[in-house]
Amino acid sequence: MTGQTTTVPLTDRFAGLCELVASKLPFGLNRIVPPTFLGFAVINSFTFGVDLVLLTVFHGWWDWPSPVAVSLAYALAFGLAFVLNRAFNFRSHAPVGGQMVKYVIVVVINYLAFILGVGAGLTELGVQYHLARLAAGACEAVYMYAMMRWVVFREPSSGRASR
């Protein structure tokens, strides 16, 4: 032994942990839940927490109007989610420009449909703003994972038929 140690990049350790956990899922879920879904859940749970903290600061503490507070918290959290998912979850090395354009389009659609449509709509109907944001978050999670996996960070086809 030469005394040299190899350092595994944090991105590879994150992916390896997601693969390990996915392989151990019970009830046959290990055959249908991809590791990237787990990675997405971890990263986006974290950034959703960031979103809620920012929303609380902007609206709850600083008394900014709800649409302004929701929009700014959302934009900051989704920017962070893009960076973390690109690096840690999907480990993409494709040019960032094209991915960023796709991501912005996906996020704008998500924002209009789920954040303003569901979240702000429920708030205007009298639902407490944190609960409204949680409901919107559940809807957007399904949409965002699908879009990130199959649109934004889609791997180039290798010429083989995909399943």
pLDDT of 49 strictly over 60: yes
CA distances to 73, 99, 159 from 93, rounded to whole Å, are 27, 10, 19
Tell which phi-psi region holds residue 5, choosing left (phi > 0), alpha (psi between -120 and 50) or beta.
beta
Q: How many CB atoms lie within 10 A of CB 27?
A: 7
Q: DSSP H helical segments within the chain, as ranges?
A: 10-23, 35-55, 66-84, 96-110, 121-124, 129-147
47 with 81: CB under 8 angstroms? yes
Q: What is the pLDDT of residues 109-136, one digit of tens each?
A: 988 998 789 988 999 999 998 899 889 8
Q: How far is it, in rounded angstroms, from Cα 53 to Cα 114?
A: 19
94 with 144: CB under 8 angstroms? no
Query: Residue 103's pLDDT band (boundaries 50, 70, 90)?
Result: very high
| Residue-range domain boundaries for the chain | 46-152
Q: How far is it, in rounded angstroms, from Cα 54 to Cα 146?
A: 25
Q: What is the pLDDT of residues 50-96, one digit of tens each?
A: 999 999 999 999 999 988 998 899 889 989 999 999 999 999 999 99
Query: Residue 2's pLDDT band (boundaries 50, 70, 90)?
Result: low
Amino acid (1-letter code) at residue 11: T
Coil vs helix vs strand at 7: coil
